[in-house]
Structure 1
Amino acid sequence: MNLTTQVGGRSFRVPVVQGLGMGNIEIIESWMVEIFDRLAPPRSGVFLDVGANTGQTLLKLRSRWTDTPWVGLEPNPACVQYLGQLIAANGFRACELVPVGLHTEAALMKLDFYTADGTDSSASLVANFRPDEKVFGHRLISTLPFAAIEPFVARTGVAFVKIDVEGGEKEVIETLRPVLQSARPPVLMEILPVYKPENTQRLERQTAIERIFRELGYQIFRVGKTPTEGFAGLRRLEEIGVHGEIAWSDYLVVPAERAAEFLKSLGEVAAPPAA
């Protein structure tokens, strides 16, 4: 069964199979559509969607950048199957789906699920990433470093990167380091809150991410949002820090030499009150 949804004023077909796909009927995070709306589509290179899940970002991207080649990396077989149906139902062109997780290692790894949903968007490759939550089950999945994938999917280069991998951001950035150093694409990513200093695993990973971006000469901006999930501008950060605000979890990280360009297009917001 195909239903219809509106994303950024455009209509898309949404396959629904035994409830799978319903999450695409009411798309949240309209701020992302607004970012794509304010930025010019890249002239060349691919949009690398790391952690494509069931195509939420793909729909937002296609609502604005209709011709930008999309490469989606997704290790969950249930999500991969659904993504294929979503792409076919809408006749999306220039879409390449890679059924692996992006990592520093070529390996077989355990993907932990924190809900009974087979497409669980909170599933993580990081063991004990949510120590206070029950693991409902796991699935063994394959991972590859980007160097093994790049010759097949990114021959024209990488123009933009989106990362949503539930704790595995450090390994993704490490394997993308050569691309970030040479091609200098912007990175739109989620980093979930540390909540408290005692969450040493999250804090250490977050600190490592900040260090890598500093070494690469990238500037981290937090995505500012309105109460209705609209886009409110960028907030420049020196460090992410320890906080507990889910709304502060999205970041646009850009080459420092292009920071002024992005601020001109997207605007800057003042720092909110301390958490």
Structure 2
Amino acid sequence: METAARFRSLPPEQIGAMHVVLDSGGSELLPELSVARDASDWRPDWKTQLISQLLTLRRETLIDVGANRGQTLLDYLSVPDTHGYLGFEPNYYCASLVSDIIASARRSDCRIVPAGLSDRNGLQQLLLDPEENLDPSASLDVSLRPGRSWKEQFAACYRFDDIRAALQIGKIGLLKIDVEGAELPVLLGMEASIVKDQPWILCEVLHRDFMAEESNHQQRLDALMSWISRVDYVCLNVVKSADNLRATELVAMPAIPNKVWTWENAIQCDYLFAPRADTGSLIEALR
């Protein structure tokens, strides 16, 4: 229970969002970040609190895969004691916004790579909403939402393990993945780094689109759970408070449910993948 012990040894004012004391207006962010905050549609929530807790326990680099409008970057900037942020974003509109946030914050510990992560190196097609350049639902997975109209953007994608040396980063403590269905290719391309560093992985795994085949989605989930088991990790579902401001519990999941996505069940789609050896202490720490 070493993780839980370290967590409990902190004074209450230094635990999670309580240390940051951010209100819905983000008043304690730097004033020059207010425009970036609004552009990112960012407000502190359960993820802000959980990232703060996890980075307090592991004072190591945060890798943000699918940085989008900089929401996780702003979570990171609200944490009082941090040790490096590296974001990846294949949408060049979003990558430019994140770069502007970093410049406004004047943080030398934060960097953005305008590329995606995958299990192969090369150009891929990024599918975006035709009406939204900063589309948070943009995906490299062409089968995720069948029957929709998309605009396409070329995106450079890399296996993380192939480019890690060039990035000159330290040990990875926390990995956040929000890539709209392309989770497994990201994990496969990072497998050597994950096995070496044993990071905690905060990952969104969406329920299936109403037009997607249930059997195809099940194959995707089975492949993901097989990988998690192969690297000796455990899948934990993140349970949130009713107001969505706090992560209240981590629940071990033998399988990820296969159901149709709705606005009502979207809150169920966030997971923490953790090394098996850390599972008990993480569950205890969040109680």
* 1:130 counterpart = 2:148: no
Question: What secondary structure sits across from 1:10 in the alignment?
Answer: coil
Alpha-carbon separation, structure 2, partners of 1:182 and 1:262: 20
Cα shift at 1:38: 2.9
* 1:167 counterpart = 2:187: no
CA contact (8 A) 1:42 1:159 kept: no
Aligned residues: 258
**After the TM superposition, which residues 141-180 of structure 1 pair with which residues of structure 2 at under 5 Å, given as runs?**
141-180=155-194
Per the alignment, residue 250 of structure 1 pairs with 270
Deviations 1:228-261 (A, max 9, x none): 2122211111111213421111001110101112
Per the alignment, residue 243 of structure 2 pairs with 228
Give the partner amino acid of 1:265. Answer: A
* 1:11 counterpart = 2:29: yes
Alpha-carbon separation, structure 2, partners of 1:71 and 1:93: 11
Per the alignment, residue 17 of structure 2 pairs with none
Per the alignment, residue 205 of structure 2 pairs with 191
Alpha-carbon separation, structure 2, partners of 1:107 and 1:189: 24
CA contact (8 A) 2:161 2:192 kept: no
Cα shift at 1:159: 1.4
CA contact (8 A) 1:15 1:85 kept: no
Question: What secondary structure sits across from 2:111 in the alignment?
Answer: strand
Per the alignment, residue 257 of structure 2 pairs with 241
CA contact (8 A) 1:110 1:139 kept: yes
Alpha-carbon separation, structure 2, partners of 1:139 and 1:168: 16
Deviates more, 1:208-217 or 1:148-157: 148-157
Cα shift at 1:161: 0.4
Cα shift at 1:86: 0.6
Deviations 1:88-139 (A, max 9, x none): 112223012111110111111110113511110101111131114332x110
CA RMSD, aligned part only?
A: 2.3
- Say if 1:206 and 1:154 are closer, same or farther in 2 by CA, change over 3 A: farther
Deviations 1:162-186 (A, max 9, x none): 0000111010011111112121100
- Say if 1:63 and 1:6 are closer, same or farther in 2 by CA, change over 3 A: farther
Per the alignment, residue 76 of structure 2 pairs with 61
Give the structure with the larger strand fraction.
1
- Say if 1:82 and 1:37 are closer, same or farther in 2 by CA, change over 3 A: closer
CA contact (8 A) 1:104 1:174 kept: yes
Deviations 1:213-234 (A, max 9, x none): 0011111111101222122211
Q: TM-score, structure 1 length as denominator?
A: 0.86
Alpha-carbon separation, structure 1, partners of 2:168 and 2:256: 30
Cα shift at 1:263: 1.3
CA contact (8 A) 2:251 2:283 kept: no
Cα shift at 1:154: 4.6
Alpha-carbon separation, structure 2, partners of 1:200 and 1:43: 38
Cα shift at 1:195: 6.0
Alpha-carbon separation, structure 1, partners of 2:100 and 2:267: 31
* 1:95 counterpart = 2:115: no
Alpha-carbon separation, structure 2, partners of 1:161 and 1:233: 19
Give the structure with the larger helix fraction.
2
Cα shift at 1:42: 5.7
Alignment equivalent of 2:61, drawn from 39, 42, 46? 46
- Say if 1:155 and 1:226 are closer, same or farther in 2 by CA, change over 3 A: closer
Give the partner amino acid of 2:208. Answer: V
Per the alignment, residue 272 of structure 1 pairs with none
Alpha-carbon separation, structure 2, partners of 1:26 and 1:74: 17
Deviates more, 1:124-133 or 1:142-151: 124-133
Alignment equivalent of 1:36, drawn from 34, 48, 51? 51
Cα shift at 1:203: 2.3
Unpaired runs of 5+ residues, structure 1, are: 268-275
Cα shift at 1:34: 1.6
Per the alignment, residue 285 of structure 2 pairs with 265
CA contact (8 A) 1:224 1:248 kept: yes
Alignment equivalent of 1:112, drawn from 127, 138, 149? 127
Deviates more, 1:38-47 or 1:125-134: 38-47
